[in-house]
Amino acid sequence: MLSNDGPEIDGIRISKVKSVTDTRGTFIKFHPLIELENSLNSVALSFNPNVGTIRGLHFQVAPFAEEKLLTCVQGSIFDVAVDLRRNSKTFGKWASIELSATNALQIYLPKGVAHGFQTLMPDSIIHYSLTSTYTPQSSYAINPFGDLGIDWPIKQYSISDRDRDGISLSSAMQKYAESLKI
């Protein structure tokens, strides 16, 4: 498992989001320009009304490979990262962490790390800062039930056809490597 003590996937960083709470509510401030190594390209929100929703495991190949900085700003998710980088000491491994509005953790994922999650609470909202534009011809999904052996915590789930029918881990690693001409 990933933890505050240090992630198991090479290059992933976990930090606490700065927030202030008072009688009016909570104010959260993000610093993607400090956290991301490349230029911020876009910010996205994922709204997930149902418990058990699985999104991912997504990645983009070069030249549209992207860094991601994400936080669960409402609800809770079981977050998964998969290392597709051949030069990494954690190549082919996956790790998970719970991200929630309560624990206020933020995770940085470098290029070459696929990402997905399952919602643990209704109405979970995930905030993304990304370094590349979504490019369909460079975007792939890894089958989250395939050869990775991920034990998704909620057995009653909803998932898109694209994600359920995703490619194998070995195909994903090959596509990422080919995009880098390795």
What are the residue numbers of the active site? Answer: 58, 128
Residue 86 CB neighbour total at 10 angstroms: 14
Pairing of strands 124-130, 42-48: antiparallel
Ramachandran region of residue 23, left (φ > 0), alpha (ψ -120 to 50) or beta?
Answer: alpha
Q: How far apart are CA 90 and CA 99, in angstroms?
A: 21
Q: Which residues contact 79 (CB under 8 A, 6 or more apart)?
A: 2, 70, 72, 96, 97, 98, 99, 107, 115, 116, 117
The answer to whether 154 touches 52, Cβ cutoff 8 Å, is yes
Tokens of 134: 């979504």
* DSSP assignment of 99-154: EETTTTEEEEE-TTEEEEEEESSTTEEEEEEESS---GGGEEEB-TTSTT----S-
